[in-house]
Structure 1
Amino acid sequence: MSTNHPFDGLSEFLALAKRLSVRQAAHDLGKTPGAVSQSLQRLEQRLGVSLFQRTTRRMALTEAGAELLARVEPAAHAIVSGLEDAAQSAMEPSGTLRLLVERLALPHVLEPVLPVFRQAWPNLRLDITVSNRHDDFVSEGYDAGISIGSYIAQDMIAVRIAKPFNWAVFGSPDYFRRKGRPRAVGDLVTHECIVFRRPEKGDIYRWEFLENGVAVRFDPAGAITVNDGELMRSLAVLGQGLIYSSTFHTSRELAAGMLEPALLDCSPGRDGLFLYFPKSARNQPKLRAFIEICAQVLNR
């Protein structure tokens, strides 16, 4: 069984076809003239045909050699070009950056970041999927995702891209005037709570607190159940009940005075929004470029 590789001798053949000189072809390839001649002989033996006419003074392609050159040379140029492109892509961002992004990151991360990123790298393509389901991150071929830190798998690298935030109860000023403000987790049983059903799992989201150093979970009850965070916050602004959310999700409503926090001192801990990706992707130039722009824009 032959152990020859189909490409064996082709680089020598192409160099000889270009130079029509064993000595000059050997110089181009960084080999000895004898090594080049032997490679050509093995190629001709394998093909069963002479590729060059040789005399003591000159070389010329045979008809078979000219036909082989016409077929092989364009492919060789394509291979060289492909290798150069691959090497270039290892140095600067190129191709398509595929992101899996939670909806809450759109106004706080993507809207401010994308214009700057596109201006910096106009030839880099973006493929963005907005979803709260990140189960198929690896199998779907995403380069990176944006999610709340506590939801990210342990084997991922996570880079914080937003300031830490706290989980708490929120209501409108009008609601608190009418119903009062809960001072302890137990007070919530007397309040109207807007229930959130997680769209990605279909279960009711339980409210979590840390009261006197003890973890406490509360099952909210109320006349309204929703599966959309934006709608939930809008209903709270309208005074329809209390919601469980974070200072990050409600930052715009808090800044405008449309919502106020309660039980903030019972927050279960500080969380954050992170860009995450597998270890195998950490050296991708396109991903490094996105991380740098996020740091530049979001840390202002």
Structure 2
Amino acid sequence: MSMNHAQSFDGLPEFLAVARRLSVTKAALDLDRSAGSVSQALQRLELRLGTPLFHRTTRKVSLTEAGQALLEKVGPAALAIAAGLEDAAQSAQAPSGTLRLIVERLALPHVIEPVLPTFRLAWPNINVEITVSNRHENFVSEGYDAGISIGSYIAQDMIAVRLCKPYQWAVFGSPAYFKAHGRPQVTGDLTRHECIRFRRPEKGDVYRWEFMENGSTVRIDPLGAVTVNDGELMRSLAVKGVGLIYSSTFHTSRELAAGTLEPVLLDCSPGSDGLFLYFSKAARNQPKLRAFIDLCHRLLAP
């Protein structure tokens, strides 16, 4: 069935909002509409397309196969259109709109807490929405303007801006642990130590410890009875002497300053990393994002 251009976009904003939230009620709140009008717009779209886009039960909304296929086709285009309209609206005026950030929890005290109060004073027209998460794989589809994460976790096609001085990956333990079990001098010594293993929440795999020895990369599957998927818990257990951990001088900065953890095998560190603000090439000219980056450079001086 052919449809004219004016009609072809009918129902798409409602479809995208429900697909993002998987809830008609939440989508209606996002659109500042009634749930009934959102449902009617969806029904008209489904009728026009001749196929259901959502499975609906009293407790749950989920995409059908046709709905998923439509989302994959029109989702990126809708984000590009929204970004284009916002760029056009902002180009002739001061930065405004909503800056949506997805931020690694670790970055809160180092970036968000020092920068955000000044940013709000400098740019009162910009709203800021911050999602705290270590899972950034849906960065584009969920409509974020920028993310803050560890450099080695950022996708290759993103533009990244350094937010802190370089830091090193190493092995860390408590003074009491080292007193009782000694310090590993080379990576081979780790097989004789109790290691706390880290299961990455975003991938589900146990993180392998990476080192540089004699000019080549060495990856070790740590041996230990305890496995966790939370970095804060991992560091806390290491402080209590439960075992050794693989971390960075940035992640453990508080413990290093307090003397509750000490590094070993620093000379085998696989290189320097850091905390970065990252964004897509399409977002780089947004005035609201440029304003945030400029302030980060001024206040954080990496």
Q: Settle same-fold status: TM greater than 0.5.
A: yes
For residue 166 of structure 2, what is the aligned residue in structure 1?
164
1:255 alignment partner, one of 246, 254, 257: 257
Match for 1:144: what amino acid? A
Partner of 2:114: 112
Q: How far 1:270 sits from its partner (Å)?
A: 0.8
- The correspondence for 1:189, drawn from 188, 191, 202, is 191
5 Å-filtered alignment, 1:1-12, equals none
Which blocks of at least 5 consecutive residues in structure 2 are unaligned?
1-84
- Quote the residue 1:38 is aligned against: none
Contact 2:90 2:287 in 1 (8 A): no
SS in 1 for 2:108: helix
Letter in 1 for 2:201: P
Q: Deviations over 1:24-81 (max 9, x none)?
A: xxxxxxxxxxxxxxxxxxxxxxxxxxxxxxxxxxxxxxxxxxxxxxxxxxxxxxxxxx
Secondary structure of the corresponding residue to residue 295 of structure 1: helix
Alpha-carbon distance in 1 for matches of 2:98, 2:137: 21
1:129 corresponds to: 131
- AA aligned opposite 1:157: I
Q: In the alignment, what sits opposite 2:206?
A: 204
User: In structure 2, how many angstroms separate the alpha carbons of the residues matched to 1:135 and 1:90?
Assistant: 33
Instruction: Tell me how far 1:123 sits from its aligned partner.
Output: 2.8
What does 1:75-86 correspond to in 2, within 5 Å? Answer: none
Q: Find the counterpart in structure 2 of residue 214 from structure 1.
A: 216
Root mean square deviation of aligned Cα: 1.7
Which 4+ stretches in 1 moved above 2 angstroms? 85-91
- Residue 170 of structure 1, CA deviation: 0.4
Distance in 1 between residues matched to 2:211 and 2:151, nearest whole Å: 17
Structure 1 counterpart of 2:143, from 141, 144, 150: 141
Match of 1:11 in 2: none
1:179-238: CA deviations, max 9, x gaps?
111000010011111111111111100100011112111111212111100111111111
Partner residue, 1:226:
228
The residue aligned with 2:181 is 179
In the TM superposition, what are the counterparts of 1:31-46 in structure 2 within 5 Å?
Answer: none
- Residue type of the alignment partner of 1:125: N
Contact 1:209–1:216 under 8 Å retained in 2? yes
8 Å Cα contact 1:90/1:284 also seen in 2: no
1:284 pairs with one of 276, 283, 286:
286
SS at match of 2:235: helix
Cα shift at 1:121: 1.7
On the 8 A contact 1:90/1:285 being kept in 2, the answer is no
Deviation at 1:91, TM superposition (A): 3.5
> What's the CA shift for 1:87?
4.5
Match of 1:266?
268
Structure-2 residue corresponding to 1:152 = 154
Aligned residues: 217
1:294 aligns with 2:296: yes
Aligned partner of 1:175: which letter? Answer: Y
1:57-112 Cα distance to aligned partner (Å, 9 max, x none)? xxxxxxxxxxxxxxxxxxxxxxxxxx9x9555543210100011112211221121
Return the letter of the residue paired with 2:153.
Y
Q: Secondary structure at 1:291's aligned position in 2? A: helix
Q: State the alpha-carbon separation in 2 of the partners of residues 89 and 276 from structure 1.
A: 21
CA deviations 1:2-43 (Å, max 9, x no partner) are xxxxxxxxxxxxxxxxxxxxxxxxxxxxxxxxxxxxxxxxxx
Matched-pair contact (CA < 8 Å) for 1:233–1:250? yes
Write the letter of the residue equivalent to 1:285.
Answer: P
Q: Normalization by structure 1: what TM-score?
A: 0.69
Structure 1 CA distance, aligned partners of 2:153 and 2:89? 36
Partner of 1:10: none
Q: Structure 1 residue 282: deviation in Å?
A: 0.9
Q: Distance in 2 between matches of 1:230 and 1:92?
A: 40
Structure-1 separation of matches of 2:158 and 2:90? 27
CA gap of 1:92–1:219, structure 2 versus 1, over 3 A, is: same
Q: Which has the larger radius of gyration?
A: 1
- Once residues 90 and 162 of structure 2 are traced to their aligned partners in structure 1, the CA distance between those partners, rounded to angstroms, is 29
Query: What is the CA–CA distance in structure 1 between the aligned matches of 2:90 and 2:252, rounded to whole Å?
Result: 43
**Identity %, equivalent residues:** 78
